[in-house]
Structure 1
Amino acid sequence: MTSNPEWDETFDVVVVGSGGGGMTAAWTAARAGASVLLVEAGGAYGGTTAYSGGGIWFPGNTVLRAAGHDDADEARDYFHAVVGDRTPRTLQDTFLATGPALVDRLLEDDAFAFEPFAWPDYFGSVPGAAVERQIRALPLDPAELGPLAEQLRPPLKVDRAGAAPADTLIGGQALIGRFLLALGRLDTAELRLDAACTELVVEDGRVVGLVAGERRVRATRGVVLASGGFEHNAAMREQHGVPGAVSGAMGPASNRGLAIQAGIDIGAATDLMDQAWWAPGIAHPDGTTSFSLWFTGGIFVDADGERFVNESLPYDRLGRDVIDAQRSGRVGERYWMVHDDRDGALPPVRSTTLPLAPAEEYVAAGLWHTADTVAELAAAIGVPADALEATVARFNEHAAAGHDPDFGRGDEPYDRSFAGGGSPLVPIEKGPFHAVAFGLSDLGTKGGLVTDEHARVLRPDGTVIAGLYAAGNSMAAVTGTTYPGGGNPIAASMVFGHLAVLDALGSGASR
């Protein structure tokens, strides 16, 4: 903490982070005519949002209503039932109420255009669950961004694996691209890369600026921290007991929690610091695991050769079941997906996020095994042969009956979403038989600074740290320990980034 520094520059608002929350905060400030500086720790704009599918969970918004989906009341009941009392009800209600209004504001700017995006909620048996509560930005031609297109963080498979970029921006790329398009037209907005926030400056109990890169920047109205989580900071993960490892983190490498730590250093309260947005991850020869979904077959087995989970669960719920199994000793760092040869030796996984390496590399690393019989496969992966044979036989009986009484696979809409609405129970009967190693992955940590419903950061005693706000994965998630539906993280990040600036500029409800 530094007092009375010599300022290098001054803005009304300084935003840290360039994902959905940071971009929304900067756009809100600039649209109001305030001077705003957005600083990004990495070398490209977009944060984890740019890696994502770009879904935004805003039930009852204008775009959904126009398509005949107006179930805001049911969505509120569903959200409350899933999240429970783990986070303040006022925080939850503010999120739910602000989303539709934010969409209306964005649509006043012709840089934005959205469409409905059908994707089932993640707790399909909870009353009020639905399959159409998301919107996403319409595709965008990168040529419209001009030079800014080169500064947009590319998709994960391009950024990490060198895949060829697409000709059109879609999903999270399109959302961030549209924010860049909008901000490029606003004279009071300035964006800056390679400028990590390492320190907050406090005077008389109020945050008045920060150190970003090598510059001391004054913020006369407020600082908004929206720089993601700390999934790529091994020391912070260990300190706070976050399961998994950096090797399974899907967020950008710049997500090291520096801004969160800067808030902690000046006395901010934190919550949910042991939490993340979890997922199963296929294991790669380089030691990493990558977020995987869209399973068209296979079962997961533990060290005893028995199933331990509904393999078609939404990824966060599945990841949490994996963590529970790891804590109980049923599985270790790795566990196995067993499948048959109906589609060949490749895993029945349509989305591994990152491209697969050549198959022989997985075999050489001991991550993929093939055998003529289930018993021989069991020996290869070190589980009891009789148990694995019994597990496969029982699962095949369930597949034939079209019902899984053990784990309920196929009972909820999400379970069936990758099976064309049909049963996801695919028998394991055509040899040779295969086993694929999986581990734990995450889409980012979700613990951070505690805020009120205006996104103002709080101290442990509940008092407000004046001038400091948080949103996105820098903020303790409004969803608590759950993931109610796809698009929740981006939506909440945008809402609280927006509310932070409204409060900082004096137009929020707390003023």
Structure 2
Amino acid sequence: MHDRRSFLKLGAGAAVGGIAAALPSAASATECASNIKWDETRDIIVVGSGFAGLSSALNAKRQGLGSILVLEKMQVIGGNSAINGGWLAIPKNPIQLAQGIQDDSPEELVKDQIISGRGMQNTDMLRQMANRALDAYQLCIDAGVKFREGFNQQVGGHNKARAIRTQHGVGGDITTKLYEVGKKEGVEYRLQHYVEDFIMDGQQIVGLKVRQNYRFPDLKTGKTIYIKANKAVILAHGGFSRNLVLRELVDPALDKTLDCTNALGATGEVTLTAMAHGAFPVHMSFIQTGHWGSPDEGGFGWSNALLSIGFHKGISVNVLDGKRFMNERADRKTCSDAIMKNRNPDGSPAYPVVFFNHDDHVGAEEVTRAVRDQIAWKVDSLEQLAKQFNIPLAQLKQTVAEYNKQVPQRIDPLFGRMMDTAVELKAPFIVSRIWPKVHYCMGGLKTDLGARVLHSQTLAPMKNLYAVGEATGGTHGGTRLSSTACLECLTMGIIVAETIKSDMQA
């Protein structure tokens, strides 16, 4: 039988938040797996078409696991992954080695992730992903992904420069290539297919109830079909940061001034469905914000690219007092927490500014685009900067003067920032406002190291049900280190295919 309790079904439907009050058909719970008339059968069904889903599907095909079907509920391939910043942390990557950085290793990356995880991370999971980082890189290279020539940067929270970036600075450079290669190798992709429910035989998943030709966000569109999964279902549907009801339920402290970087489809219905069937959730309240957000653009936007310059080459200043207030190169949680303390007396955001030298970045795409779209401005002097953003001029001048004295000394006595990329600040400047945006869910479905989803009663794997990427929880702990989401998704796509093959042979 569909072994969901009715109250869990209704809770899952109601928590979708802004999409529907309940899930159609799924609440009936009267169908038995033995009585289902299957419309189609595949060996492996992958739910979601981001980095994790595309990697899982391609690697499952290469492991010889039979027919592979990828279901995507939206109208395009790629999900959140297609619009992310295209960063990928790879210890020992060729660009890093060419730069003369010889002392990095997978274990060094794990050390940084342990710090950012604040003691709540799954170190064994992080270690296996770091150890497969070069496999993920090679997967991309073999698919034809282009990375920026000579670009390898030290990003927030990392102790080494190990973050490479795609040619165009977007994850779509990766999702497009993995999709094209998968299609050539026989992976089947379906758009506008919304998972309504799981078909279970006890704790074993045997197939999916799917709304075909679904048009987001209208759950009355399309028709219901049943697809049998002979070998496995892989959940790669991402997080739930666009589900405002669920987000507030698990973390009421999330400030309503925060926008979200994620695609509109990041609403987590499949996570709720899995939970209703007994899948064990973990760390659901751990939701990360991206400190590089701009209040002057919606969604993910381009501020991430601009501020990758600003946080390395410039400083952040509180507009109320003209002083620096944080280590601009700390991890996301540290920076976000510091930024959100910048408040007017009535509690509204007093958006801080970040500024850096214009003349050092003439013609840079990130700068040109940001100024064009008015998420950044060129100012010719500190006087103009202070006037435009209502910052106390005397204190602003003092802040810049003190900072410029620290640059040649390579020491930041205020916040302990690494100063290896710092330069003396000289007008004219590029300046932008910042405010964090909800970005990533560290919580989700608990899995073992092989990506098998654990059941909440037995704490043992649910047969034939696997999960990878942001759909899972408990891996990163308190916060995810920047440039590691793509790494996780790609490597776990490799690992889950190996796991399923091993399980089939057991």
- Tell me the residue number matched to 2:198: 200
Specify which of 451, 461, 465 is matched with residue 468 of structure 1.
465
Report deviation, 1:23: 0.5
Change (3 A) 1:480 1:81: same
- Tell me the residue number matched to 1:87: 121
Q: Secondary structure at the match of 2:497?
A: helix
Specify which of 381, 386, 397 is matched with residue 402 of structure 2.
397
| Paired AA for residue 484 in structure 1 | L
Q: Is the 8 A contact 2:332 2:481 kept in 1?
A: no
Report deviation, 1:453: 0.5
TM-score, length of structure 1 as denominator length: 0.73
Q: Is the 8 A contact 2:143 2:177 kept in 1?
A: yes
Q: Secondary structure at the match of 1:408?
A: coil
Q: Secondary structure at the match of 1:335?
A: coil
- Tell me the residue number matched to 2:317: 300
Change (3 A) 1:76 1:285: closer
* RMSD between aligned residues: 4.3
Q: Is the 8 A contact 1:398 1:405 kept in 2?
A: no
Comparing 254-263 with 435-444, greater Cα deviation is found at: 435-444
Q: Is the 8 A contact 1:248 1:290 kept in 2?
A: no
What is the alpha-carbon distance in structure 2 between the residues aligned to residue 268 and residue 376 of structure 1? 53
- Tell me the residue number matched to 1:71: 105
Q: Is the 8 A contact 1:371 1:377 kept in 2?
A: no
What is the alpha-carbon distance in structure 2 between the residues aligned to residue 88 and residue 287 of structure 1? 30
Matched-pair identity in %? 21
- Tell me the residue number matched to 2:182: 183
- Tell me the residue number matched to 1:215: 225
Change (3 A) 1:245 1:463: farther
- Tell me the residue number matched to 1:147: none
Report deviation, 1:356: 5.8
What is the alpha-carbon distance in structure 1 between the residues aligned to residue 119 and residue 327 of structure 2? 26
Report deviation, 1:45: 1.0
Report deviation, 1:310: 2.4
Q: Is the 8 A contact 1:396 1:427 kept in 2?
A: no
- Tell me the residue number matched to 1:268: 279
TM-score, length of structure 2 as denominator length: 0.73
Report deviation, 1:217: 1.6
Report deviation, 1:50: 1.8
Map 1:280-295; keep pairs closer than 5 Å. Answer: 280-284=292-296, 291-292=303-304, 293=307, 294-295=309-310
What is the alpha-carbon distance in structure 2 between the residues aligned to residue 206 and residue 118 of structure 1? 44
Segments of structure 2 that go 5 or more residues without pairing to the other structure are 5-28, 212-223
Q: Secondary structure at the match of 1:396?
A: helix
Q: Secondary structure at the match of 2:193?
A: coil
Map 1:14-25; keep pairs closer than 5 Å. Answer: 14-25=45-56
Change (3 A) 1:285 1:94: closer
Report deviation, 1:190: 0.9
What is the alpha-carbon distance in structure 2 between the residues aligned to residue 309 and residue 90 of structure 1? 31
Report deviation, 1:178: 2.1
What is the alpha-carbon distance in structure 1 between the residues aligned to residue 78 and residue 118 of structure 2? 31
What is the alpha-carbon distance in structure 2 between the residues aligned to residue 19 and residue 503 of structure 1? 20
Report deviation, 1:492: 0.7
Q: Is residue 2:39 matched to residue 1:8?
A: yes
- Tell me the residue number matched to 2:268: 257
Change (3 A) 1:405 1:277: same
Report deviation, 1:39: 0.6
| Paired AA for residue 222 in structure 1 | A
| Paired AA for residue 29 in structure 1 | A
Q: Is residue 2:415 matched to residue 1:407?
A: yes
Report deviation, 1:299: 2.7
Q: Secondary structure at the match of 2:294?
A: strand
- Tell me the residue number matched to 1:233: 243
Q: Secondary structure at the match of 2:292?
A: strand
How many residues are aligned here? 446
Q: Is the 8 A contact 1:249 1:442 kept in 2?
A: yes
What is the alpha-carbon distance in structure 2 between the residues aligned to residue 94 and residue 287 of structure 1? 32
| Paired AA for residue 23 in structure 1 | L
What is the alpha-carbon distance in structure 1 between the residues aligned to residue 283 and residue 127 of structure 2? 19
Map 1:44-63; keep pairs closer than 5 Å. Answer: 44-60=76-92
Report deviation, 1:40: 0.9
Q: Is the 8 A contact 2:43 2:68 kept in 1?
A: yes
Change (3 A) 1:232 1:118: same
- Tell me the residue number matched to 1:38: 70
